[in-house]
Amino acid sequence: MTIDTIRNVHSVRVCNGSGVLVRPLDKSCLYVLTNCHVVCGGDGKEKALTFKFETDSILNDVGVSVVDTILCEEKDMAIIKINADGFENLGFLRLNTCCNNAKFHVGFPKARYEGAVSPTLVLNIQNVNGRANAFLTEYEYTKQVEKNEIEGMSGGGVFDENCCLVGIHKQSSNKDEKEMLGNACFIPISCYKELLTEEGWSPILEFNLDSFVELARIAFNFDDKSVLRNAELLLYEINTYKSRIEELSPVKIIEVLTKNGRLDRNIAVDELSRDFWTDFTEFVIAMIILLGIEDKQEDFIISVFDKFHFVFSQKQFDFYDVREELDLDLLCGMSKGAKLVVGGIAEPKTFNACVMDNRIPNISEAGVFQTMDIARHQRQLLSKLTIINSKIFRKCVYHILDEAELDVTLVHYRDVLMAKIKKVENENKRN
């Protein structure tokens, strides 16, 4: 995503204000995020909505058909649902719920309504001052803005340096007759996410979950220069597996898992964090490597979960406290012969801390754990499982580098990973 893309296809003039065009999980519609005062007149009634795009935008020839609106006068938020017909090629606009990363504000100022080279304006942000109240964040432009530069910018998007949507501009913080004095406020994108949940509308997501393309980019990323230099061949081979899963859909994989009782049916995809998706993506890639999976259909994940069941902990705790701290409800749907892979917990300082030795053999009975099993056995269930920290898949790269003298390859990676897991299984049998 670039600033040009933001201006051309994701920024839209709404009446005499601005808005941002985003794609929700539901493919049949799109949302225009803006302010309540942009779409409502002084009498509080909704205006006849009009929409305009950047002069050379590909969307100028697309008719905008309004389906429904959400108006929240208290927080000055408005969400306009429009028909997605004609917008099939609209790219995905990522979100960022961290307000401190705001870098620029894009909108349609009144000063550019007539005769300007471009009707959109980009105002740079130099500082985020923090929360002004319960639902507003204050920020400071790099310069004092003129009144005619800011009028019409209400409802425009506030973005970070990676062009992720941080929030929606609401108003200037203070003003005199000519200047706005450089301070303004925006409504965090999290408020719009909450409003959608309250109204029961399809959620907007931080990542495009139609495919693993974006998630693959953040999986198995290493900032350590020694890793990048000494594991170049291995990382190249891992990247080939990244490309293999790019065409798969994370949303469909979650659907397959829930449909087959492997995950809670009430799981909210939009509430799954960046950390979840990073750990889960690395888990999927590692499993394809380890198990030699060739299937390119989303339902391959069931065969994986029969052997290695992935869960993600929202609680922060040390790996050695997993038996006491892990939410037992996460075990529902787990095959009784599977190993438990836990994401979300701290990365161990040593490789050997990645896998916990269990002292009781694995449960061998067929079937999966049900709620009754959890209620009956409680914490004893965890004592019977082989538990693996999901960070093992990343940590294994470092371990190979510590021991290998030659260029490390995917074969080395697979062998070491398998050996570590087999070692734990053998220790379990002896105990």
Over residues 50-105, the pLDDT tens digits come to: 999 999 898 988 989 999 999 999 999 999 999 999 998 888 999 998 888 899 99
Q: Read off the pLDDT of residues 257-298 as tens digits, 9 standing for 90 and up.
A: 999 999 887 788 888 888 899 999 999 999 999 999 887 788
Count CB-CB contacts under 10 A for residue 287: 21
pLDDT at 322: 84
Count CB-CB contacts under 10 A for residue 73: 11
Residue 308 contacts residue 338 (beta carbons within 8 Å): yes
Would you list the domain boundaries of the chain? 3-199, 213-430
Secondary structure of residue 46 in the 3-state scheme: strand
pLDDT at 361: 37
Query: Is 157 exposed, middle or buried, given 0-12, 13-18 or 19+ CB atoms closer than 10 A?
Result: buried
3-199: in CATH 2.40.10.120: yes
Nearest 5°: the CA angle 312, 315, 319 is 75
Q: What is the phi/psi pair of residue 214, to 5°?
A: -70, -40
The Cα–Cα gap between 87 and 171 comes to 30
Of 26-35, 103-112, 345-354, 381-390, minimum mean pLDDT range: 345-354
% of the chain at pLDDT higher than 90:
47
pLDDT at 424: 60
Residue 408 contacts residue 401 (beta carbons within 8 Å): yes
Bridge partners for 339 per DSSP: 308
Q: What is the phi/psi pair of residue 113, to 5°?
A: -65, -35
Residue 13 contacts residue 49 (beta carbons within 8 Å): no
Pairing assessment for the beta strands 77-83 and 66-72 based on DSSP bridges = antiparallel
Q: What is the phi/psi pair of residue 237, to 5°?
A: -70, -35
**Residue type for position 410:** L
Q: What is the mean pLDDT of the chain?
A: 86
| pLDDT band per the 50, 70, 90 thresholds, residue 325 | confident
